[in-house]
Amino acid sequence: MTGLQELLREDLRGSTPYGAPQLEVPVRLNTNESSYPVPPEVVAEITSAVAAVAPDLNRYPDREFTALRTELAAYLTRTTGTAVDPAQVWAGNGSNEVLQHVVLAFGGPGRTALGFTPAYSMHPIISRSVGTTWVDGLRGQGSTQAFDLTAESAVEQVRAHDPHLVFLCSPNNPTGTALGLDVVERVYDAAERAVVVVDEAYAEFARPGTPSALGLLEGRPRLVVTRTMSKAFAFAGGRLGYLAADPAFVDALRLVRLPYHLSSPTQAVALAALHHADTMLATVEAIKHERDRMVDGLAALGLEPVPSDANFVLFGGLADARATWQALLDRGVLVRDVGIPHYLRVTAGTPAETDAFLAAMAQVAGQDGFGTDDGSTR
């Protein structure tokens, strides 16, 4: 009898699925969710929005999610100062799904996608899952900062690989720092035959003066900016991600989406949350404050936090990152081992969570220390 391994596509054999641990611990700071629950007034509107669509669940939802696209375009226009038309907007069940739509339409067998590692781990997983060849580009070239991506280095790598898709992530997960728009512009010009994706999942947390790539969309039909309601919007469980691009680009995505991919409850719930955008986003400033407190606290412990424009902090200087991860978990604090030797990533949440994280770190430092980082990962 043929085993499943032999039936599985050759290129998937031996791969590991995406899987951040979902553990029941007091302090969960490992998946960059918001630690703040949905406020009661929004819960009330969400509940009545679901009740309102329930009788019509015998019918398929609006395949074009017109009302939702209109509200998402208005949200982007209002918060970024770049006028975005509903025809430029596309959405899916999380930005992972909109990224998958982009790769389905523009990647695939015989095509290449380039990203700059370390970056969001789903970019290669989604690319490979539809048969796209993934190229791991490098960060830290031509810079004293290990995780910087300079325009020169990005352009050089684009020229060397001539990809069909380029992934830029700004602010970058897991390193936290946003890209200058010069990198996006120069990559776009160099990648003459490529779709250029700027993943802005964490844009709302960026430090002042960090512009969005949305302002570059005009006149760049191959550029796409992806966003999500999972992070700043505190809506990870609602599963709503979206993108903005040229209307013709959005049309291409209609070729690969499954019909009615956004259920009517998903559309209704997301619309209700968007009606309360200010309330849903009210914790962003507080989270940025906690992020900065983590950066200061980690530096005070002699560690090396990377400058962050996101709701998380990557920090280095750990002799054995896995041992520190476990020591924190033993103290009820779950952070993320992103697989970069000597580094861990921690999500910024409530003041109490920052206190618990920094107290646990101080305990670990006092007990075993973090060892010395010999800098060999640089």
Structure tokens at 119: 């970056």
**Cβ-contact 290, 278 below 8 angstroms:** no
- Bridge-based pairing of strands 165-169 and 112-117 is parallel
Binding to ligand PMP, residues 136-155 (CB under 6 A): none
User: Which residue(s) pair with 199 in the sheet?
Assistant: 169, 226
Q: Compare residues 99 and 358 and give the one whose CB is closer to ligand PMP.
A: 99
Q: Compare residues 96 and 308 and give the one whose CB is closer to ligand PMP.
A: 96
**Smallest separation (angstroms) from ligand PMP to the CB of 241:** 4
Binding to ligand PMP, residues 209-268 (CB under 6 A): 228, 230, 236, 241
Kindly tell me which residue out of 96, 132, 175, 283 binds ligand PMP, with binding defined by CB under 6 A. 96
Burial (CB < 10 A; 0-12, 13-18, 19+), residue 318, is buried
Q: Compare residues 201 and 213 and give the one whose CB is closer to ligand PMP.
A: 201
* Site track 76-95 with ligand PMP (rule: CB under 6 A), x = hit: ------------------xx
Q: How many residues bind ligand PMP (CB under 6 A)?
A: 13
**Cβ-contact 205, 232 below 8 angstroms:** yes
d(CA 90, CA 66): 10
Answer yes or no whether residue 335 interacts with ligand PMP by CB under 6 A. Answer: no
d(CA 36, CA 15): 34
**Smallest separation (angstroms) from ligand PMP to the CB of 94:** 3
Answer yes or no whether residue 199 interacts with ligand PMP by CB under 6 A. Answer: yes
Q: Compare residues 169 and 364 and give the one whose CB is closer to ligand PMP.
A: 169
**Smallest separation (angstroms) from ligand PMP to the CB of 311:** 10
Binding to ligand PMP, residues 113-132 (CB under 6 A): 120
Tally of CB atoms within 10 A around 60: 11
d(CA 317, CA 304): 6
**Smallest separation (angstroms) from ligand PMP to the CB of 143:** 21
Binding to ligand PMP, residues 8-27 (CB under 6 A): none
* Site track 31-70 with ligand PMP (rule: CB under 6 A), x = hit: -x--------------------------------------
Q: Compare residues 146 and 236 and give the one whose CB is closer to ligand PMP.
A: 236
Q: Compare residues 94 and 163 and give the one whose CB is closer to ligand PMP.
A: 94
| Chain residue at closest Cβ approach to ligand PMP | 94
d(CA 155, CA 144): 18
Kindly tell me which residue out of 173, 267, 311, 324 binds ligand PMP, with binding defined by CB under 6 A. 173
Q: How far is CA 264 from the centre of its chain?
A: 25
Answer yes or no whether residue 169 interacts with ligand PMP by CB under 6 A. Answer: yes
Burial (CB < 10 A; 0-12, 13-18, 19+), residue 242, is buried
d(CA 346, CA 218): 36
Measured between its terminal Cα atoms, the distance across the chain in Å is: 49
Among the listed residues 349, 352, 335, 354, the one whose alpha carbon sits nearest the alpha carbon of residue 37:
349
Q: Which stretches of the chain bind ligand PMP, using CB under 6 A?
A: 32, 94-96, 120, 169, 173, 199, 201, 228, 230, 236, 241
